[in-house]
Amino acid sequence: MSLLTRDNPGETHLMMGNEAIVRGALEAGISVAAGYPGTPSSEIIETLAKISDDIYTEWSVNEKVALEVAAAASFAGLRSLAVMKQPGVNVAADFLMHLALSGVRAGMVIVAADDPGALSSVNEGETRLYAKLMEIPMLEPGNFQEARQMTCWAFELSETLHMPVLVRTVTRLSHASGNVTLGKLPKPDRKAFFQFNGDMLDPMEGPIMSPPVGIKHDSQQKKLEQAAQLFEDSPFNTYGGPESPELLIITTSICDLYSKEVVALLNLEDRVGILKIGTTWPLPAQPVLERLARTRNVLFVEEVQPFIEEAVKVLVAGSHLDLSSLTFYGKYSRHIPTAGEMTPERVTAALSTLLQLEPDPVSQDYPPRGTALPPIPPREISFCPGCPHRASFFSINTVLQLDNRQGFTCGDIGCYSMGMLPGGFFTLKTLHSMGSGSGLASGFGKLEKFGMNQPVVAVCGDSTFFHSAMPPLVNAVHNRSSFTLVVLDNSGTAMTGFQPHPGLPVDTKGDQAPPIDIEKVCRAMGATTRTCDPFDLEATQKQLLEFINGDGGVRVLILKQACALSPEKRHTRAFEVTVDPDSCLGEACGCNRICTRVFSCPGLLWDAENNQATINDVLCAGCGVCASVCPQNAIQRKELP
């Protein structure tokens, strides 16, 4: 049994932030959880699906649908959870705006995981502004214990206000681990029934809809005021430090831990106080004003946008406090950088400047003078050994170059986003949000009228196809656009850890489910389709050339080959790959080391000393594609049983 389902209140365990959120949701007695995979949020739904048979968990097709699935449960009287990474909130935003207005019935919590520093994202978006935009309450856990407690309490809050509640976490909390003390697990009554015959405005028995907007928006404002009232005494807002500090840090989320640590490290406990806000929106006035009245200098430590900084400034402007007696430091004063994640060093730098501290002697003298470090080669991320994407991009790039009309490829979100890097031969020339490659291609494909004759290719993964590439594809077919979509179908949501999607014959819990055939869907839309194995470079290139040189229209090439790390393929090899030392001519070949220099699979090694390519036996995944890349047939593959 997982420790997450242990009913031993008071026990302490080491948990990942996301696990603490799961435990909090379980302690709130949720019945339904839905989401779409995205780092750093994925472990929440994944863990719930694994450990609990009492609740319904779903990897939905996208975040908007996930939010709708969770909302339906709330409408039917069951506590529910919707989980997504920040860009997913953008996808779900349309429904969220209406849900905030219509209100919810049973407690409903949205966990949004932001990725400050874009450690595993292609943007650095902020969810907190949505709380303000959507006019819903938001909590920000500052440590592992709070991740459990706040998630649990958020459901109560949601039921008190009949509003969805946002819990905002960040990568450094979700993916870090810390001590969590368990609370009690309830035994909820899970009876679903949707009441709709009551009064139009009765939150418990009436129909649930956003109109009449005037009345609903007014009541939404009242609920927010009520939330602010509740937040005034919340134990999630804490202060530590001298009664009248020389400098007050106002912080939230995991930034609280950095602030505390740096204040201790610099021995500033007597000079600096830390006000940590956990109930970030609507900002509770009293605890903030009370502290501001006892200091003259304020430093805001938060990531990524100056959200609390602005809220506090607005609060002060409308308060009895004398503005001229306070100086604010933070993003606006540039004491905290305006982009990127928070680090202890950023807090140190700000405090050192503001309090005029001496520089740290260790950082000054280390590495010791005279100890020159050799140049450390950077570790670029790339496709794994045996990754089908490397083969696919090798072919796409080859075909576009052969075609010689400056054709280009629109990228999309997944492991294959790395097609923009050297390991993907710089193949991707645009990269934005989920499904945008196909939408851009649909647009590019209409520009022939204005003289553009460059062939247009778009790529998307199998999961991305269902998430948001289908509407642009319909758009392209109907509007007679012209491009080739390459679906890089590696049989799972690989980037985030092989979550199933509608194209697979299994559901979130691994039970049998009807798969939806991508090729049939595309054909039904009216696209010309073909399926190839990307490991067969020749067949793939031939088909792609035919599509690119064709008479236009929307063409879909499905390159189907499972991810090398997929559970069914991992630790298996299709081929034993070797290099024949007599055939490999090294630098004398004229191939200019195409295997290691260009194809650059980590399963290959360039042995400069012996002027030969070799196979890295530890890393080689045995896909055998490099054998087709070697012009000298020096790389040989033998089929393994």
Pick out residues in 419-448 that bind other proteins (CB under 8 A). 420-423, 425-426
Binding test (CB under 8 A) with other proteins, winner from 20, 61, 106, 254:
254
Question: Within 368-387, which residues bind other proteins (CB under 8 A)?
Answer: 368, 371, 373-384
Taking the C-alpha atoms of residue 356 and residue 353, their distance in angstroms, rounded to an integer, is: 5
Binding range to other proteins, per CB under 8 A, among 215-223, 280-288, 398-406, 442-450? 398-406
Residue 521 carries which DSSP code?
H
Query: Which is closer to other proteins, CB of 323 or CB of 402?
Result: 402
Q: Residues 297-336: x/- map of binding to other proteins (CB under 8 A)?
A: ----------------------------------------
Q: How far is the CB of 219 from other proteins (least distance, A)?
A: 39
**Which ranges constitute the DSSP H helices of 233-304?**
255-265, 285-292
* Contacts for 491 with CB less than 8 Å, ≥ 6 apart: 462, 503, 504, 560, 562, 563, 566
Q: Residues 17-46: x/- map of binding to other proteins (CB under 8 A)?
A: ----------------------xx------
Which residue, among 344, 259, 47, 40, has the nearest Cα to 168 in the 3D structure?
40
Binding test (CB under 8 A) with other proteins, winner from 47, 57, 348, 409:
348
Q: What is the bridge-based pairing of β-strands 483-489 and 554-560?
A: parallel
Q: What is the bridge-based pairing of β-strands 575-579 and 635-639?
A: antiparallel
Question: Within 479-538, which residues bind other proteins (CB under 8 A)?
Answer: none
Query: Which is closer to other proteins, CB of 263 or CB of 277?
Result: 263
* CA angle 107–41–495, rounded 5-degree value: 145
Binding range to other proteins, per CB under 8 A, among 250-258, 280-288, 293-301, 477-485? 250-258
Taking the C-alpha atoms of residue 584 and residue 402, their distance in angstroms, rounded to an integer, is: 26
Residue 401 binds other proteins (CB under 8 A): yes
Q: Residues 121-150: x/- map of binding to other proteins (CB under 8 A)?
A: x---------------------xxx-----
Taking the C-alpha atoms of residue 72 and residue 544, their distance in angstroms, rounded to an integer, is: 44
Query: Which is closer to other proteins, CB of 475 or CB of 541?
Result: 541
Question: Within 72-101, which residues bind other proteins (CB under 8 A)?
Answer: none
Query: Which is closer to other proteins, CB of 318 or CB of 367?
Result: 367
Q: How far is the CB of 638 from other proteins (least distance, A)?
A: 22
* Contacts for 170 with CB less than 8 Å, ≥ 6 apart: 40, 113, 114, 115, 116, 253, 254, 303, 341
Residue 609 binds other proteins (CB under 8 A): no
Residue 219 binds other proteins (CB under 8 A): no
Question: Within 575-604, which residues bind other proteins (CB under 8 A)?
Answer: 585, 588, 590-594, 596-598, 600-602, 604
Cβ proximity of 367 and 395 under 8 Å: no
Query: Which is closer to other proteins, CB of 311 or CB of 537?
Result: 537
Number of residues that bind other proteins (CB under 8 A): 88
Query: Which is closer to other proteins, CB of 574 or CB of 598?
Result: 598
Residue 36 pairs in a beta bridge with none
* CA angle 284–287–293, rounded 5-degree value: 125
Q: SS3 for 489?
A: strand
Taking the C-alpha atoms of residue 44 and residue 88, their distance in angstroms, rounded to an integer, is: 15
Query: Which is closer to other proteins, CB of 165 or CB of 621?
Result: 621
